[in-house]
Amino acid sequence: MRLSWTAFVFSACLLSTRGSHAPRAGMLLHEERDDIPVDFVNRGPATPDTMLDMRVALKMADRDGLETALLDVSTPSSPHYGRHLTSEEVRAFASPSPETTDAVSDWLASEGITFKVDGADADWITFSIPVSKANELLGASYENFVHSPTDVVQVRTMAYSLPEAISGHVDAVYPTTSITAPRDPSLGPMFEAYTSAPNVTADAVPASCNNVITPACLQALYGIPATPATQSSNKLGVTGFIEQYAQKADLRDFLSLLRRDINPNTGFALQSIDGGVNEALAGIEANLDIEYTVGLATAVPVTFISVGALNADGVQGFMDFAEVLAAERNPPQVVTTSYGFDSERGLGRTLSTRLCNSYMKLGARGVSVLFASGDGGVGGGQPKQNCPRFEGAFPATCPFITAVGGTHNIPETAVALSSGGFSNFFGTPAYQKNATAAYVARIGSMYQGMYNASGRGFPDVAAIGDKVEIVNAGDAGLVAGTSASSPIFASVIALINDRLIAARKPVLGFLNPWIYANPQAFNDITSGSNPGSCLNIGGFQATAGWDPATGQGTPNFSKMLAAAGL
């Protein structure tokens, strides 16, 4: 299933609309964009009395200190490896300083705005104002941007500014310059009907797994055990957005069909964020994620995290789920998300950075945060065309999450749709510098100028993402995309965590330093590439070692156990 069908998507191809924006006296330009996504049309100034629900992200008191602490507890060679932080310890780094809170509060109060300090770390300020006041407050020019395919209107500005005395206290303001295509919940990912499952056992990888992937295929391919997990404190979280719901009846049918060795009534817990529910409606994405966690991470307690507040671009749910989980006393040790944005540029640098820092909080708590890398290949969300430059999907480009790319076939090769490449916003983190530098040196001048060779490389790892059998609305069918890859890899991590907890060892937590320190723990994929929809190039080629098509490779359970000290 393509991420562009299962995510809050926007096109990465942009059209120029105007030149630079000079802030007025006493104001500093905080962010601007000079172009808009291809499927959007600027319909002119927004009505002055249109109300905007504003969110101001306050700077952390010690953001760099939190990153240092995260890497200290996540790097295998560190003496503090595995000593994950408590919510109180994270809050000491992440909460804004009193000076920051006071400065922004005083500014808003002086403007006659009624506001609320929000968030578990008191690092958000929220308020509602009309467009006329937002234009005045931010030196902005809010306009109506219409998404042509859906006629959905987003009220955004091409630039905004903050007072000089305030700018240094603020990470981002929303909604301002982010323009992202709305997601129609009635649209589903590609679902190809399939009449019957093959008789597959987990002691070998039969040829039939080239035609359809089942839990038994994955158990055989990656050495994943079918024996039940034993630790009740071990939890695996599966996020659900855009009114996607996991149907328990479909899970029961899936288990009856493809995991006959476990109780078909095995279920999952529900956690609601922003009013999220789990209605009795079949959602292909949600069903896939639940069926390949409950059905693969045998007996690991799974929670479906339903994120509500469906909105025009989906950003608010991404803001909230990470903040809520990071503040919990006992968050799930693994969280997998199959939704995202096809390009960093639509969100903008400040908002992408702020969201990425939220995932850093989760990692510091000892949570393995996994995201599907995306299904646009090197082109991100660009339509079929000659791609002038490569686009990095978000959150896959965030250095504090583990991005999971896709493979297909037996033996595995990179699947063409798997998003991968290099970030245009985030620099190469130290944990992967040697790996990405080796790949850049290997390809030489190929694609020079089309990607940022000094950016964070993604994906980090990969798993099967094609011809995966699920049950949806009572019917068996096949789906494709990295939306399958992420829950598969997350299930492997959850099973390793179960054994670590049983051995009274800390869980893996933020995975990336461990992944890059243990390349031998993965099946290296050395063929295939990821052109996606770009017609003029072949995409990044999978090679020996890390590559931007399949990362370090796919799971090898026994070798991963050894790398985890088991």
Q: CA gyration radius for the chain? A: 23
d(CA 434, CA 501): 31
In this structure, the chain runs to a length of 566
Q: What are phi and psi of 144, to 5 degrees?
A: -95, 115
Is the peptide bond preceding residue 459 cis, with omega within 30 degrees of 0? Answer: yes
Annotation-wise, does 545 bind a ligand? yes
Q: Which residues lie closer than 8 Å to 175 by C-beta, 6 or more apart?
A: 52, 53, 54, 154, 155, 156, 313, 315
Residue 3 near residue 374 (C-beta atoms within 8 A):
yes
Annotation-wise, does 151 bind a ligand? no
d(CA 492, CA 129): 47
289 has catalytic annotation: yes
Of the candidates 121, 143, 289, 342, the residue annotated as catalytic is: 289
Of the candidates 4, 306, 483, 486, the residue annotated as catalytic is: 483
Q: What are phi and psi of 507, to 5 degrees?
A: -70, 170
186 has catalytic annotation: no
Q: Which residues lie closer than 8 Å to 448 by C-beta, 6 or more apart?
A: none
> Tokens at residue 354, please?
């702020």
164 has catalytic annotation: no
Residue 237 near residue 369 (C-beta atoms within 8 A):
no
d(CA 78, CA 447): 37
Annotation-wise, does 188 bind a ligand? no
Of the candidates 39, 250, 253, 285, the residue annotated as catalytic is: 285
| β-bridge partners, 290 | none
DSSP secondary-structure letter at 93?
Answer: H
Annotation-wise, does 524 bind a ligand? yes
> Tokens at residue 537, please?
């190039």
Active-site amino acid positions: 285, 289, 483
**Residues in the annotated binding site for Ca(2+):** 524-525, 545, 547
* Binding-site annotation: residue ranges: 524-525, 545, 547
